[in-house]
Amino acid sequence: MTVEADGLTVTHRKTVALDAVDLTFGTGVHGLLGPNGAGKTSLIRVLATVAAPTRGRVELLGRDISEHRERSAVRRRLGYLPQGFGYYPGFTVREFVSYIAWLKEMPAAGVPQAVVRAVDRVGLMDRIDAKIKTLSGGMVRRVGIAQAVVNDPDLLLLDEPTAGLDPEQRVEFRRLLRDLGRDATVIVSTHLVEDVAAACSEVTLLESGRVAFRGTTAELTDLGANSPVGAAGADPDHDGNPIERGYTWALRAHRAGGRNGTGLAGDPARTDGAETSR
């Protein structure tokens, strides 16, 4: 497995962001869903090695990131896009993505070609020599995606990557995710359930720092189709989209005291091999 977390706990002062969570992620595209404050960003930050867990063990790419040397080795092989990523407005797109490649200690000879490839993948080749301060918000977000993928990471972590993208750009981005997920582990934190449905093979739903659902997108869709909120007219706000109904029902069942993971109370969804939080 690319990611293994055992008993992962993160606290911010007196607030528990993640509560003894056990999770594993392998090759493919994984959606990370949940309401505000569920713990999604806290999880992504720990996996990106920019925040340390309060308790628990985290292993990335076969390395224990509690050790400085191991964290440094992992950082060369991962890509990370936070919700608000820092950049230098006076840099051109080419200069900024090249700078990130340098930070990741990529071989100098291969950087120019890698930068062009990354920028091309996000559809910004016509602006590669434009200063970032001249770009629209959606274009800046695409620069963020380009810097995250410039090193062809084995582990790619994206926090709300489609914020600011228009519908056409989101479709192209989903295609890129599916392409990257063939060989890498991609974890996408988002509020947009439709992005998960279109691009992800598996989904983890967090609620109040614990796992409320863990399974495939098909299982979450089936959960919505077979749940009380899926019945015609049962919940007018959720009649249109089965996966959104599954999201809603999983959260409701979890809040009502159902078991964590894919096996919700009274639900026949998959429980074999599903990770749960304690």
Pairing verdict, β 202-207 and 155-159 = unpaired
Q: How confident is the model at residue 235 (pLDDT cuts 50, 70, 90)?
A: low
- The answer to whether the predicted template modeling score (pTM) of the entire model surpasses 0.95 is no
Residue 99 has, within 13 A of its CA and on its CB side, a CA count of: 12
Q: What are the sequence ranges of the domains in the chain?
A: 1-77+153-208, 86-148, 214-278
Express each pLDDT in 243-256 by its tens digit: 888 999 899 889 88
What is 123-146 written as a DSSP string? T-GGGTTSBGGGS-HHHHHHHHHH
Q: How confident is the model at residue 265 (pLDDT cuts 50, 70, 90)?
A: very low
Q: How confident is the model at residue 142 (pLDDT cuts 50, 70, 90)?
A: very high
Contacts of 61 (CB under 8 A, 6+ apart): 2, 73, 74, 77, 78, 154, 155
Residue type, 82: P
Residue 205 has, within 13 A of its CA and on its CB side, a CA count of: 30
Mean predicted confidence (pLDDT) in 5-17: 94
Q: How confident is the model at residue 270 (pLDDT cuts 50, 70, 90)?
A: very low
Neighbouring-strand partners of residue 55: 9
Q: What CATH superfamily classification does 1-77+153-208 receive? A: P-loop containing nucleotide triphosphate hydrolases (3.40.50.300)
Express each pLDDT in 79-130 by its tens digit: 999 988 899 999 999 999 999 999 999 999 999 999 999 999 999 999 999 9
